[in-house]
Amino acid sequence: MSDATVHVQQGAAAYDLHHDGHDHDGHGHHHQSFISKYVFSMDHKTIGKQFLITGIIWAIIGGLFSVLFRLQLGFPNQTFPILETFFGHHAKGGQIQPEFYYALVTMHGTVLVFFVLTAGLSGTFANLLIPLQIGARDMASPFLNMLSYWFFVLASIIMLSSLFIETGPASGGWTMYPPLSALGQASQGSKAGADMWLISMAMFIVSSLLGGLNYISTILNMRTKGMSMTRLPLPVWAMFFTAVLGVLSFPVLLSGAILLLFDRNLGTSFYLSDIVVAGEVLPNEGGSAILYQHLFWFLGHPEVYIILLPAMGMVSEILSVNSRKPIFGYMAMLGSLFAIAILAFLVWAHHMFVTGLNPFLGSVFVLLTLLIAVPSAIKVFNWLTTLWRGNIRFTPAMLFAIGFVSLFISGGLTGIFLGNSTIDIHLHDTMFVVAHFHIVMGVASFFGMFAGVYHWFPKMFGRYLNNTLGYIHFWVTIIGAYLIFWPMHYEGLAGVPRRYLDKSIWVSFNKFASLGEMITIVSIIVFAVQLMFVFNFFYSIFKGRKVTTPNPWGANTLEWTTAINPGHGNWTGEIPEVHRWPYDYAKDGRDFIPQTEPVGENESKH
């Protein structure tokens, strides 16, 4: 009982609208046990932090996998006895075995794409920012929001356990193309590991849908007074389009995964036809292996934008705040987000130019794919113009945002090579592709995520991250990212296929040994610096410099009108009313004008 009293006092700042009608003790106070506050929390801010921390754990695992397979790629002839200590027969004699190598590659991709850059990125910031920036006390359904996180945990547990089963985790690549992923005889990883991968993904999709529906309904219905759609901060718009993409495309992946489960376990032939594997003639006839690729990439391509759009939105906000200037071309930014979201659905087959696709269909997809470069270019030019004649503060968040723009340009331009079917014939599935998507989708989105973490950390925990560590983190990461992925394009232009763990037997591909070593060493350094960031993150939660002002960056958006450590419900009194768009920086000689300030009589129009 005394325990409960303590919590009542601790939760004194909390204001819980969902218990307004009952359980009301006259002060807006509310019983919160440890479990309901930190574990099964329905507070969007806590759920956001849960997504972030789970994402960080996954990022360490996924990143470690890449370090392991980079060891094989950089030093194919060397043995690392320590690997055998940890991984036993998977690394017999200290050498990563092929099956294990492919399992690592598969898990690296799956974990980073789905668990880190989808759940960890949009799960974190959609949860944190949507209610705070639109002026809502919480999500439309805090309960579904909580379920969304716990389905993600469930998916995580299943995926994690698949690492420890005897035949190993799925190893057919993160795309899991059948028949390879459908036939246990074809690969160790296609035994129990593949079932677990598919079930885990199904749980993940449920999580993503619960989250996405919530984000959409919250943004559409729960904006505070005066917050019209065109006064929404750009991160919210980005999260909105992200959620729409997810809601419309993830179900298609679910259907693809379920059909694959049927083929694997119930003897159906959706994807299987005319197969003789390991000397055994299979009875399946009439299926199409290519069908899966259509279903997969119908999600898979929007997925790229599900990862990228939140980063774009946050970067737009951070660039504007730290340039002390409005984002240039707000409406054009919106329009380009919208165009990207639409086009994201119409380009999936550019992953399939060499599957024997009808050439006419291919040409349509070339046109639609390269069309995406137009809204992307608009965004880049608008970001550049936002910086132009600003008064720029280089916080770590700002540096990561600038790094994002640089990487987005570099990776976006190589997309123009690959989206063109003529060039894709040559570069398809080479290291060029690996370099391209790591820069534009992987590293760039990570930069957006880091920018977000550095920028909103004060809002999340009431403390700052250590700046010096932040600067080291940024500089090592951007230099490292370019050192790792820039030269990789050359490997691709030499025709080196991706997913080759040893190129020494190839006359055409065996000339990049020293490059491979360099890349491996740099990736280890970059990985170590990410661990330093993780340390900075957890250390600063408890010991970081305290935030002393509610609005440390001098920003206009609503989240900075809350208390330094807002309780459940976000604002202790009334929800503030909004009178203007969020980007009135440097207007009429004033550094910034918060959204809550009414428009003055003599204020200039724009």
Residues with Cβ within 8 Å of 59's Cβ and at least 6 positions away in sequence, in order, are 111, 112, 116, 120, 530
Residue 419 CA to residue 368 CA, distance in Å, equals: 9
Which of 460, 494, 541, 547 binds other proteins (CB under 8 A)? It is: 494
Q: In the window 289-318, what residues touch other proteins (CB under 8 A)? A: 289-290
Task: Please pick, from the candidates 22, 164, 331, 602, the single residue that binds other proteins as defined by CB under 8 A.
Answer: 331
Binding-site member from 141, 268, 420, 565 for other proteins (CB under 8 A)? 420
Stretch that binds other proteins, among 131-139, 150-158, 177-185, 301-309 (CB under 8 A): 177-185
Cα separation values, 532 from 138, 259, 327, 456, 459, Å: 33, 42, 32, 19, 21
Closest distance of CB 86 from other proteins, Å: 11
Of the candidate residues 108, 428, 459, 463, the single one contacting other proteins (CB under 8 A): 428
Task: Give the nearer residue to other proteins in terms of CB position, either 187 or 445.
Answer: 187
* Residues between 11 and 70 that touch other proteins (CB under 8 A): none
Among the listed residues 8, 40, 92, 99, the single contact to other proteins using CB under 8 A: 99
Taking a C-beta distance cutoff of 8 angstroms, is the pair 483, 443 a contact?
A: no
Residues whose CB falls within 8 Å of the CB of residue 23, separated by 6 or more in sequence, listed in order: 30, 31
According to the binding rule CB under 8 A, does residue 151 interact with other proteins? no
Taking CB under 8 A as the criterion, the residue among 500, 565, 579, 597 binding other proteins is 500
Contacts of other proteins in 336-355 (CB under 8 A): 354-355
Determine which residue in the list 332, 342, 346, 564 makes contact with other proteins, applying CB under 8 A: 332
Q: Would you say 347 and 415 are in contact if contact means Cβ atoms under 8 Å apart?
A: no
Query: 101 to 130, contacts with other proteins by CB under 8 A?
Result: 102
Name which position in 144, 153, 472, 541 contacts other proteins (CB under 8 A).
472
Q: For residues 134 and 405, which CB has a smaller minimum distance to other proteins in the complex?
A: 405
When the beta carbons of 216 and 519 are compared against other proteins, the nearer one is 519
Q: Pick the binder of other proteins from 3, 279, 573, 602 (CB under 8 A).
A: 279
106 and 69 Cβ atoms separated by less than 8 Å: no
Draw the binding track, 356-385, toward other proteins (x: CB under 8 A; -: no contact).
x--x--xx--xx--xx-xx--xx-xxxxxx
Residue with tokens 């071309």: 329
Footprint of other proteins on 185-244 (CB under 8 A):
186-188
Q: Determine, following the binding rule CB under 8 A, whether residue 499 of this chain makes contact with other proteins.
A: yes
- Report the alpha-carbon distance of residue 224 to residue 344 in Å, rounded: 30
Angle at 14 between CA 10 and CA 19, to 5 degrees: 120
Cα 521 to Cα 101, 371, 473, 485: the distances in Å are 18, 38, 17, 13
Give the footprint of other proteins on residues 442-461 (CB under 8 A).
none
Handedness of CA 110, 114, 119, 120 (dihedral sign): positive
**Residues 529 to 568 in contact with other proteins, rule: CB under 8 A:** 531-532, 535-536, 545
Q: Which of 349, 314, 561, 593 is nearest to 450 (CA)?
A: 314
With CB under 8 A, what is the number of residues at the site for other proteins? 131
- What phi and psi, each to the nearest 5 degrees, are found at residue 280? -100, 130
